Amino acid sequence: MEKRQSIKDIEANGDVRGLFLLGAATLNQARNGPFWRLELRDATGTMEAKIWSPQSQAYPDLAPGQIVDLEGRSGTYRDRVEVTVERLRTLDEAEQASLDISQFLPASERPAAEMLEELERLCREVFTHAPWRKFVLGVLRDDDVRPRLLVAPAAKAVHHAFVGGLVEHILSVTRLCLHLAEHYPELDRQALVAGAIFHDIGKVWELTGGLANDYSDEGRLLGHIHIGLERIEPHLRKSGLEPELVMHFKHLILSHHGELEYGSPKRPKTAEAMVLHYADNIDAKMAQMRGLFANMGEGETGWSPYQNTLQRFLYRPARTPEPVATTRRRRGTPEVEQCSLLSKA
């Protein structure tokens, strides 16, 4: 079967026909009867769709992770393009097995294996204390961690919620922490970077990834902070790290959400824990902003839809004009930026 239409190509007031992954499917109640609220996904983005009553009653068992063949009509609601479904069919296992699943799963722009190799190169540069190096590289090369890390998303939604998203987020937070450690030399750079690398490692077990990308039973019951520390505890015991460093590392992981109401078992109580919390928060927010405005053209301005997680609309402003050479230098390539970082590290 052919996928036909992609989400990025759907514009308002047009016909829609193609194969899409259901990222979410909830049955709600309206005045004239029940209706389905769907999230359509593919590798190019996400879009909301609805099946109104009485047609909705013909589909009793829609669920996230299903691939559907649908026809409908696009329109706008609250300044967002969405689809009104006119016909829908769920693909069976044989049909789904014949598809290239990568067409339906958003992925990092950089290969996850390339980012993980970069992370390991940073580790060999940063960790001069042998127990830290043994611990960090031991976890990253663990057969129960590495394959999962190469495909894991960093979240179910909001930020880095795509294949390779977790290693992209980890690498970005690590590089932010290195820059901050250079600016604030009183920080314990090795402890801080170890916390940056493993602050979200529990997400490789908390989230299922794949087509449905939902929370696992372990994820719902325990959460990624507890899971992460539990799974890497054997590596900590074998590392030879001093007890004081082990205690500080655990505090970094336990406190990286910042506040108790945000799921942090502890609030940051060291300078390194404070830096890790804000670096993690900045990277998550910037990834969210990047995703919201990804489909805007160069120099285009405008507002996002209302963001429930931030309780506000977000705006993409006009940019200050810059010479072309300056723009290229500021954006740079990952390789150039990496060489610069390592030379300072």
Whether the Cβ atoms of residue 10 and residue 81 lie closer than 8 Å to each other: yes
Give percent of the chain above pLDDT 70.
93
User: pLDDT tens digit string along 287-311?
Assistant: 888 888 877 778 889 998 888 888 8
With CA atoms as reference, report the closest residue to 192 among 180, 208, 204. 180
* pLDDT for 79: 78
**DSSP 3-state assignment of 345?**
coil
Give the whole-angstrom CA distance, residue 219 versus residue 202: 9
| Average pLDDT of every residue of the chain | 89
Structure tokens at 160: 């880095």
Where in 138-232 does DSSP place strands (E)? none
Whether the Cβ atoms of residue 207 and residue 218 lie closer than 8 Å to each other: no
Q: Which helix (H) or strand (E) holds 335?
A: helix 334-344
- Range with the lowest mean pLDDT among 11-15, 163-167, 323-327? 323-327
Give the whole-angstrom CA distance, residue 128 versus residue 340: 19
pLDDT tops 70 at residue 23:
yes
Residue 162, Cα to own-chain centre: how many angstroms? 5
pLDDT tops 70 at residue 343:
no
* pLDDT for 335: 45
* pLDDT for 161: 76
* pLDDT for 139: 97
Name the pairing type of β-strands 33-42 and 45-51.
Answer: antiparallel
* pLDDT for 4: 80
